Amino acid sequence: MLFAKLKLNPYLNIQILGSDLVPTSDYQDYDYIIMTPILILGHGQLGLMLAAEAAKFGIEVDRLDLSSAERLVGTSCRRDKFDEQLIFSHYGKITAELEHLPDTDLIHRIKQSPNWINAQAFTQLIDRSDQKTLLDKLTLPTAPWCSVDTVATLESFNANHPELVVKTTRGGYDGRGQWRVNKNILETIPADQFGKLIAESKINFIRELSIVGARNEQGQCSFHPLAENTHKDGILRYSAVREDIDPELQIEGETLLSSLMTHLNYTGVMAVECFQTDDGLMINEVAPRVHNSGHWSQLGTVHNQFALHMRALLNLPLPKSIEFRPTLMLNLIGCDFNPDWLSVNHVQIHWYGKSLRDGRKMGHINIDAGSERALHDVKKQLAPLLDTEHKQLLKDAVENFQPCT
């Protein structure tokens, strides 16, 4: 059998098939991998990819639509209203695919459940001012910042920091809930946001890097290599993972991430977005979940971030070291699906099945960047199938990439 039965939950004498409860004894002839069912809060692309990966382990996993409190079974779009008690009695682990959970009674009850993992991390990281306070407390490098209650506070911080990034303390991602501020454009921030903002000094970075790592209950950790990220309008457009990563920078990234995960007694995958400066890495943001900049790992390593999250949740062993191939990941933003993409060599297409909206992450393309030839072929075959904007991004990504072979 592939996996040890490490964690037993109260429901373990029951094997769940669909929504019927069937005593395990009926199935004793089978060499089942019996692991506790997992509920993912959120049903976006990250939840979908987590569920798909869990299915490969034979783990039962369902997703919860947080706006309607409906369950989506496994990776399907099939929804059901289910007895709330099942959330607490059936699922041995409850995890989340987005950090900004709605302020509902159901979420409050879930947060009281012992099966809700990472309660500490969600308490201390979700609000951006709490997150920055924690980073300061742990003396982890981060941009100078302040809480912004009034225009006067912002102006006085602005006097010492000419360029600012102002962010809502909660919610907001992919460029939403963020304002670039200098002395002339303070008024761009809506008045009703004051009291719910932080201001950060804008950092002149060399590049943006992120690191994804996993930690299990026993404190065992695994890390992916640093990914270099390119954003446009606050949205990640592409990530590049190179073979020749500076080992000192990698260790720096792992040290930052492991000190956070250890402090929070964290289980699962966490991601840290950093700025590389002349003085080393500086933390931009921390996400207690799988992360867009880790999607390359679906192609570039056998231990992708979704698998690591599931393994860590179930306290299964994590890989001691992670081998990887140079990989590029191109986000597909606000565009339609093109089936011709599937005919391109050296790429893996991921499509999230969401309705089209401007600026919305619709899918991504992982590109094998392990050889000049692969990159050349991809540019030649894929570029004509993309719209002008994505074509330019692909061209930039490929041209800036130096494969070592």
CB of 285 to ligand AIR, least distance (A): 11
DSSP state of 163: S
Q: How far apart are CA 44 and CA 304, in angstroms?
A: 18
CB of 66 to ligand AIR, least distance (A): 8
Q: How far apart are CA 402 and CA 405, in angstroms?
A: 9
C-alpha dihedral sign at 39, 40, 43, 46: negative
* Helical segments of 90-163, H only: 105-112, 119-125, 128-137, 151-160
CB of 360 to ligand AIR, least distance (A): 4
Q: How far apart are CA 233 and CA 217, in angstroms?
A: 37
Q: How far apart are CA 98 and CA 110, in angstroms?
A: 15
DSSP state of 293: G
Q: Which residue's Cβ lies closest to ligand AIR?
A: 44
Binding site for ligand AIR (CB under 6 A): 42, 44-47, 97-98, 173-174, 292, 354, 360-361
CB of 82 to ligand AIR, least distance (A): 20
CB of 286 to ligand AIR, least distance (A): 13
Q: How many of the other CB atoms lie within 10 Å of CB of 393?
A: 19
CB of 369 to ligand AIR, least distance (A): 23
CA-to-CA dists, residue 40 to 34, 243, 288, 327, angstroms: 18, 33, 13, 28
